[in-house]
Each structure stands twice: as C-alpha cells, then as structure tokens.
A = this chain, B = another copy of it.
Amino acid sequence: MQPPFLLFLGDAPDIGWAKTASGLAQWRPEDCAGQFRLSGCRVDLGLPDMDFAAAKAAGVQTLVVGIANDGGFIADAWVPHLVAALETGLDLAAGLHERLADRPDIAAAARAAGRTLHDLRHPDRRFAPGTGKKRPGKRLLTVGTDCAVGKKYTALSLTRVMADRGMAATFCPTGQTGIMITGRGVAIDSVVADFISGAAEWLSPAADPRHWHVIEGQGALLHPAYAGVTLGLVHGSQPDAIVVCHEAGRAELQGYEGGFACPSLRDALDVHVAAARLTNPAARGVGIGLNTSLLSAAAARDALKRAEDELGLPACDPLRWGADAIVDRIVAEFGG
C-alpha cells in the first residue's frame, strides 16, 4: 500500500478498536498524514483531521481502515465514506477478516475510480501443515495474558534494541498492524486452521545460527476464543526464548469481563513454555513486557519490580523505558 496514509478511525469507541491505526501512527509516523473520524469516534491519535479532498490535495495515496473490531467486519456505516474516498482518488487498505473486495459497492467504486483495494489480513499464498522439524537460527516469541496487551510493541521494541546493538534480528509480524508497519508477514489468525503451525514455520525459516527471528505473538493460550491460533503459532515458531506480556491493572480478559480473569504472569508464562517444549524442548522464559500506560511513573516502577520478583526475569515497559534489560538477559543466556 502506497504512503502517505490517511487513517480511518470510523466510530471507534476506544483506542483498542483503533489499534491498527495507532500502531501505524506509532511505528510509521513519517507516513501518516492525518486521521479521519466519524461522529461518535472517541479516539484521537493527535494527527490532523482531514477530509478526503484535503488529504488528496496533501498528497495522500491510501485511506487505511485502522480498526480492529471483534470479528473483523466492515460496518455498514463506514461504507459510504469508503466509497467517497475511492471516488476522491484514494486507494483503500484494510486488515479485516471481511474483504473490502467482497463488498459489491466498494468493489464497484474501486473499479469505476481505477483505485486499488488492499486486503492485508488475507494470506496471498498457501501453506503446508507444520513439520515440527527444528530449524537453525534463534527465535523469540512474545506471548500474553490476554489479547491486546503489548505483544507486538514488545517484539518491535526488542528487535530495535537488538539491531541497535548490531545483532542480526528480524521482526516477524503475525497480524494486520504489523504487516502494515513492515510490509511483510502473515495474519496468522486468518490462515485455515489446519495450517496455523505450518504458516508459523514459513514465517521464520531456517537462518544463521546467531540470527534472531522476533515473532509477534497473537491471542493467548488461556483465552476462550483465540487460544487455537496461539497454540499453532507457538508450535510452529519453535521459540528458544519467550517474553510474556501483560497490561498492568487488567484483571479480566478484555471483552470477557465477568467470565474470565486474566491469569497471573506465572501461569501465563508456564502454559506457553510448556506448550512450546513440544517442538523445542529448550524453550524458556527470558523476560516480561509490561504495558504500564495506565499507571503513574512511580506505580509503574513498582509494578515492574513486582513482576520481576514474581518470575525472576527482567521486566520492561518497552514504550516507556525501553526493552534493554530483556536483551541483556538474552545476550547473557544465548550470546550477543
């Protein structure tokens, strides 16, 4: 998809729904020219609000649907706006389960305007079943107590720190936001179920023994909806190192309040490490990625300290204070 981007926030009620847009704004800020919001939208990414004509005049190439809603559908209320964007001369990109191209009105408008539709959630290749065969190269996987706790940001941050230290490291996106940020990867939750671990094997192929594939986790093993995705990703990734992620202060699974408590860091790490050992008996925890954005600096320091005491592993808030301590641990255990 061609930058610069205008980020479509729709009627997102909170930042969680706009996580694709906020990820792009965070990690490709130079390519994000503005935001487009419908009435009722409660999210503000701090970008200039633009209509489609102003965006086109400013050189914007693509309207990016920056929403990650439950079920990944295109809301009917968005459609007239998406059609108008095409008619104004913008391409469209989305990372939803429902394809832009499968909506007849959107497809017709794109054809009429000669614009391109990018459906980035949908793999453009087929995968084989997982083999379980160990591949050379080192792999780190981020896992979590829940969805949307910072697995992607932790993986991106770790990759940056490793690269800054001259280590060979590649970020492997497994969701639409990571794919939009990097232009690579596979939306692992959109693969046909039989091929989850096979797709994960494809994503981090055999590499130099000192190279790190840093793989973005998806879902959580103790989640009633998405654990299947997670388990296939764990088995196919064959991680040597696992970093467990959590949002400080979250007591219940998001969207499952009243039914499912967030597991402890200890339980979450243990269940993922145990699963990983099926395909890599040496898998182990190396750190904790804690999203402390809801806490004061003092409370955040306390939360990191408690997490370290609970697991005996370094804990970082990668966006707040960097992820160096986890990379220090990795270097100490695996070499630099």
Contacts and interface: CB of A to CB of B under 8 A. Distances in A.
A228 B231 contact: yes
A192 B278 CA distance: 24
Nearest to A256: B132
How many copies of the chain does the oligomer comprise? Answer: 2
B229 A193 contact: yes
A146 to B, nearest CB: 13
A273 to B, nearest CB: 14
A71 B128 contact: yes
Q: Which of A132, A193, A198, A235 has the most CB of B within 10 A?
A: A193
A227 interface: yes
A189 B228 CA distance: 11
Given A132-B256, A132-B259, 12 more contacts: A97-B194, A130-B224, A131-B224, A132-B225, A190-B194, A191-B192, A197-B226, A198-B225, A222-B278, A228-B231, A229-B232, A260-B278
Interface residues on A, range: 35 or more
A72 interface: yes
B192 A260 contact: no
Contacts of A133: 259
A192 B97 contact: yes
A102 to B, nearest CB: 11
